[in-house]
Structure 1
Amino acid sequence: MTDDRIEPPRTAGERETLRAYLDFHRATLAMKTEGLGDEELRRQSMPPSTLSLLGLVRHMAEVERVWFRKTINGEDLPLVWSDEGDYQVAYDASRSTGAEAFDAWRREVEHARRIEAEAESLDVRGFQARWGEEVTLRMVMLHLIHEYARHNGHADLLREGIDGTVGA
């Protein structure tokens, strides 16, 4: 694994720090999946779990889309992997290739970066339909950092099970 992640700054302002930590965790997911083929990406953890690296990438594409495009930007669009709004479909790694999943994830990350960069402040609000309430861009960025950190822990264990690679 090549670790070319950029360390978040130690003394930056709030927005720069949030942006840097989110990008650090995005880069961590990419690093944990680096160099693997579709079969390795589809390898599941242990029964009864069907969790796989490919499923995690698909899930994070959905997470990026829902929180930035739908919640903050107010876009009326379906989920990436399900027209019916079934969030769990993303974990089904049999439904796409690694290239398709990474393309979707990278597109959603770019949309998210654009939305965040164009927002006037971290106090910009959007409506989170699942919770039925407004949330700020600040909360969304913190939520995504949390979501990536949790799933990157899963990714670390999955990668170790595939080829023994561990670290960062």
Structure 2
Amino acid sequence: MPRMTTERTKTTVRIDPSTASGEREALEQWLDFHRVTLAQKCEGLDDTQLRTPSAPPSDLNLLGLVRHMAEVERGWFRRVLAGEDAPWIYSTQEDFDRDIHAADVDTYEEAYATWQGEIARARTLAADRHLDDLGLGEHRTGERFNLRWIYLHMIEEYARHNGHADLIRERIDGATGD
């Protein structure tokens, strides 16, 4: 049975991206905007609610989305951009979608801390690179990507999953919003 915790309070502040920033600043602001949006979708919920699936037959849930985005941050910034040999956090050979398939012992606190750690590492790895710099590692397709492409892809990835998160949250407690 999932470990029950007290209700999490809403504390995450989201800052709207500037309407007059340069390219890199805009990309980083939009990525941060979407990162915070996912965190806000999880606020105020207990562990049972965070594990509530969207709608059968899908088992997609908010805890799984946070775990998935930790994997995505790690994959694109550590493996592809920096060329690090960073193993999967949750995914396994037996269950590649293990990030979504949280076990009863898996907690939001651990997932959130891991996700935030991957975001911090991503920021550090990107800080000294230019948008046109190619990553030092390869994607599983064998391709190399520049930082600009990675930023754009991450914005797209978060935007898509934040749409999922919005629907899941509305199903849980009726909360809506961007």
Contact 2:12 2:39 in 1 (8 A): no
Instruction: State the shift of 1:87 in Å.
Output: 3.8
Q: RMSD in angstroms over aligned alpha carbons?
A: 1.6
Gaps of 5+ in 2: 1-9
Question: SS in structure 1 opposite 2:97?
Answer: helix
- Amino acid aligned to 1:49: S
Kept after mapping to 1: 8 A contact 2:74/2:86: no
4+ runs of 1 displaced by more than 2 Å?
1-4, 82-87
Give the conservation status (yes or no) of the 8 Å contact 2:131–2:146: yes
Which secondary structure state, in structure 2, belongs to the residue aligned with residue 90 of structure 1? coil
With over 3 angstroms needed to count, the CA separation of the structure-2 counterparts of 1:3 and 1:79, relative to structure 1, is closer
Q: Tell me, what secondary structure is at the counterpart of 1:29? A: helix
Shift of residue 82, structure 1, vs aligned partner = 3.0
Q: Which runs of 5+ in 1 are unaligned?
A: none
Query: 1:49 matched to which residue of 2?
Result: 58
Alignment partner of 1:17 is 2:26: yes
Counterpart Cα distance in 2 of 1:98 and 1:36: 10
Letter in 2 for 1:76: D
1:29 paired residue among 30, 38, 53:
38
Matched, 1:89 2:75: no
Aligned pairs, number: 167
Percent identity between the aligned chains? Answer: 53
More deviation, 47-56/80-89: 80-89
Give the TM-score normalised by the residue count of structure 1. Answer: 0.94
Matches within 5 A, 1:1-168: 4-82=13-91, 84=93, 87-94=96-103, 96-119=106-129, 121-126=130-135, 127-168=137-178
AA of the residue aligned to 1:109: I
CA contact 2:49–2:172 (8 Å) conserved in 1: yes
Structure having the higher strand fraction is 1
Q: 1:107 to 1:135 in 2, by over 3 A?
A: same
**For the residues of structure 2 that align with 1:48 and 1:74, how far apart are their CA atoms?**
37
Q: How much does 1:85 deviate?
A: 8.9
What amino acid maps onto 2:75 in structure 1? V
